[in-house]
Amino acid sequence: MRYAHITGWGKYVPERIMSNDDISKLVDTTDAWIRERTGIGERHVAGVDDTTASLSINAAIAALDGAGLVGAQIDLVIVATSTPEHFFPSTASIVQDALGASHAGAFDLSAACSGFVYALSLGADAIKAGSASAVLVIGAETMSRVTNWKDRNTCVLFGDGAGAVVLQASDRPGGVLSTMLRSDGSGSELLIVPAGGSKMPITPDVLAQDLQCIQMNGREVFRFATRAIDRSLREVVHRAGWTLQQLDLIVPHQANIRIIEAAARSLGIPMERFFCNVQRYGNTSAASIPIALTEAVANGRLRANDRVAMVGFGAGLTWAAAAVEWSEGRALSRSKRTISRIGYGLANMRSRARRIYRRAEDRIFGVEQPERTPAPIRQLPAKPQPNGNGHPVLPPSGASNGKIASHTASQPKLEP
């Protein structure tokens, strides 16, 4: 039987720290209010050069070093994020390229603050099924890019950062023993970035109303979160064949210390067994659990053979949990670390070389153009028609004056 062990872990946060006092200069709030209602004292915020991919790459290198692997040994890269680099390509593909993970598949996973546990579950399943032997699971966010810095209800809560783990196959029992994933889309409006997707494209009106930023019903989310932690921990621990009392450590999503305290009370587990670092990072969404795991190991709170449960919850609504028997890291030796750094430099050169080669190939051999066929003329409505959401549905590109001028052979032909 194959098991999926966590053999490496790492984190990376942007250098810039924003304190509660800094935020009180932007909105009507105080350090005392934020600490009392959330437990947050400060958060890290991306600088102009930090992106979700750059944070991911740094966290991933730390996790690979810890696992004693280099990028080329990875079979799959999953980046859990709600603030990707672009709609497409995926942030994971950019990370895969930077790490020289030339044999790996790569994709992004969107499940908001539950994303890391979702990704861990998928990665572990890929290993157990035999389709991968080494999987890089990253949670990374630049929440500051979708934060409304005029809204005191939300801007005090979030922060930026990335955390990563490496999953590796082994015959030795342990690792990720059980997971559970859940969703309830009826609560989708409770925590949402309304605009920027297909439902509400960005327009000047949208920007004027800050609809491209986070909106939240804090009280409802709070109630949901405490219930989600309680239920999912009980279920995942039961599935692993453990009891709650046997857990050495619980690493919950770091959203608000009061949510964690309320869940601890309802589970009857002392707060000392919960790992909390929300004080220094705020809510880093999908990044919060892998950042917390990395710090828990560094602080001696999580050791090999410990029973750890992690639980995520957030927009969707989504929630997810995992029960893991913690494994030893397999740190790279000094010489191997030097070689791995050379490898990342070479990956960068390889990426550039491939871009140059692609351009040169186009010049030398020419780009094959799809064959153009004469198109039938078809009448279309002259004006954009509003759809159900009030957004105009524009005629297909190439259409003007209510007529399609031409279309390429690759497009379906309209019958006259």
Enzyme catalytic residues? 113, 253, 283
- Within 192-221, which residues bind ligand COA (CB under 6 A)? 216, 218-219, 221
Helix extents (H) in 80-166 = 91-98, 115-129, 152-155
Q: Among the candidate windows 31-39, 123-131, 192-200, 326-334, which touches ligand COA by CB under 6 A?
A: 31-39
- Our measurement of the distance from residue 228's CA atom to the centroid of its chain's CA atoms, rounded to an integer in Å, reads 19
Let me know: does 63 contact 22? Beta carbons within 8 Å. Answer: no
Size of the site for ligand COA (CB under 6 A): 20
Q: Does 314 bind ligand COA (CB under 6 A)?
A: yes
Residue 24 identity: S
Q: Does 334 bind ligand COA (CB under 6 A)?
A: no
Q: Does 38 bind ligand COA (CB under 6 A)?
A: yes
Q: Does 153 bind ligand COA (CB under 6 A)?
A: yes
- CB closer to ligand COA, 178 vs 285: 285
Pick the binder of ligand COA from 7, 121, 256, 284 (CB under 6 A). 256
- CB closer to ligand COA, 13 vs 156: 156
Which helix (H) or strand (E) covers residue 413, if one does? none
Measured in Å, how far apart are the chain's first and last C-alpha atoms?
A: 60
Q: How far is the CB of 24 from ligand COA (least distance, A)?
A: 8
Contacts of 115 (CB under 8 A, 6+ apart): 80, 81, 82, 109, 139, 285, 286, 312
Is residue 317 reached through a cis peptide bond, with omega within 30 degrees of 0 on the bond before it? Answer: yes
Q: How far is the CB of 370 from ligand COA (least distance, A)?
A: 46
Pick the binder of ligand COA from 156, 169, 251, 320 (CB under 6 A). 156
- Dist. CA 347–CA 352, nearest whole Å: 9
- CB closer to ligand COA, 23 vs 78: 23
- Dist. CA 362–CA 364, nearest whole Å: 6
- Within 74-113, which residues bind ligand COA (CB under 6 A)? 113
Q: How far is the CB of 153 from ligand COA (least distance, A)?
A: 5
Pick the binder of ligand COA from 255, 292, 293, 322 (CB under 6 A). 255
Q: Among the candidate windows 68-76, 94-102, 118-126, 148-156, which touches ligand COA by CB under 6 A?
A: 148-156
Among 178, 250, 180, 162, which Cα is nearest to 4's? 178
Among 361, 346, 251, 382, which Cα is nearest to 306's? 251
Q: How far is the CB of 75 from ligand COA (least distance, A)?
A: 30
Dihedral sign computed on CA atoms, order 205, 208, 213, 218: negative
Among 115, 135, 116, which Cα is nearest to 124's? 135
Map residue 53 onto helix, strand or coil: helix
Map residue 181 onto helix, strand or coil: strand
Let me know: does 180 contact 10? Beta carbons within 8 Å. Answer: no
- CB closer to ligand COA, 216 vs 251: 216
Residue 261 identity: E
Q: Does 283 bind ligand COA (CB under 6 A)?
A: yes
Let me know: does 51 contact 161? Beta carbons within 8 Å. Answer: no
- CB closer to ligand COA, 4 vs 225: 225
Pick the binder of ligand COA from 17, 22, 26, 33 (CB under 6 A). 33
- CB closer to ligand COA, 38 vs 168: 38
Residue with nearest beta carbon to ligand COA: 218
Residues engaged in binding ligand COA (CB under 6 A): 29, 33-34, 37-38, 113, 152-153, 156-157, 216, 218-219, 221-222, 225, 255-256, 283, 314
